[in-house]
Chain A
Amino acid sequence: MIRFIFPHPLLSVALTLIWLALVNKVTPGNVLLGAILGVVVPILTAPYWPHRAKVKNPLKIIEYVLIVLWDIVVANVEVALIILFKRNRDLRSQWIMVPLELTSPEAITVLAGTITMTPGTVSAMLSADSGSLLVHCLHTDDPDGVRDQIKSRYERRLMEIFQ
């Protein structure tokens, strides 16, 4: 019964909080409406999403978000410096193949999004069996180092969160 009303408790909480943030006022009526949305939407969408992501360690998410936010600030400065002070012919753009240990589609999506938002890298494509990720690097002399950094800094943390 509990599983039926709350097929995905974290999604329910997230939906309620997002609703409150969208209306921008915390009143009993809004909390109630948000709670109703938080219950109804997961039930309605459950059939379309049979293999839900299991979040093992919600507290690790906070650490991950803070690290990514910091990296985004650094990434912005780095990319801005490259754009402003590097001549185009000195730019060494490269394709990098990142072998993935993550298996759940949600975790891979988060990793790909993170790579796009952080230093000089854009994730472009998955292999057909989702086993490796194609990343475009704006400027690097050390493609293996970039790959190892992605694996140790982001993928390892996502493994702890999702698997």
Chain B
Amino acid sequence: METSIIIEGVIAFFLVIAGLFGIVGSFGMIKLTETMQRLHAPTKATTLGVGGVLIASMLYFFLVKGDFSFHELMITLFLFLTAPISANFIAKTYLQANTRPTDLPETGRDYGWSIYDDPPVRSDTPE
């Protein structure tokens, strides 16, 4: 009896943490004004929001139901694979439509940033 209260407390703790970060992430979307700034809110604050729910779910199934579930780890893996890619798509689309090369820092290379400049011809590219 004593232990189950502690377990429930820990699970509830993770759920509350997750909810807090989820709300802060969504609030950031409203509060921040520039597109590039708003991109920061969903890519990060929400990671811990989802992560907290997944940790709580793993603990619940492991400690209360007694079987270990890998699905939460898979969700984490796929989240980490997809979140940066969608953020990158949004960033690139925004840059394409709203900035000029002069707004950005220099690349420090012979070639400019990839949406303004063609890549160098690679020797191993098939004709």
Contact = CB atoms under 8 A, between A and B. Distances in A.
A83 B45 contact: yes
A99 B73 CA distance: 33
B32 A125 contact: no
Contacts of A131: 107-109, 111
Main secondary structure of the interface of A (DSSP, over half): mixed
Contacts of A20: 70
A93 B91 contact: no
Contacts of A128: 111-114, 116-120
A127 B92 contact: no
Interface stretch (A38-46, A72-80, A151-159): A72-80
Contacts of A112: 84, 88
| Most chain B beta-carbon contacts within 10 A, residue among A24, A97, A128 | A128
Contact of A91 (B37, B91, B92, B116): B37
Interface in A3-46: 18, 20-22, 24
Interface residues of A, number: 40
Interface in A81-105: 83-84, 88, 91, 93, 95-97, 99
Given A21-B71, A95-B104, A117-B80, A72 B37 contact: no
A24 B109 contact: no
A103 to B, nearest CB: 12
B113 A127 contact: yes
Contacts of B33: 88
A71 B36 CA distance: 21
B28 A113 contact: no
Contacts of A80: 20-21, 24-25, 45
Interface string A51-82: 10000000000000000000011011001100
Nearest to A137: B40
Interface string B6-21: 0000000000000011
Interface string A123-148: 11111111110101010000000000
Contacts of A75: 44
Contacts of A99: 108
B126 to A, nearest CB: 10
B48 interface: yes
Contacts of B117: 127-128
A124 B111 contact: no
B41 interface: yes
Interface of A: 18, 20-22, 24, 51, 72-73, 75-76, 79-80, 83-84, 88, 91, 93, 95-97, 99, 112-113, 116-117, 120, 122-132, 134, 136, 138
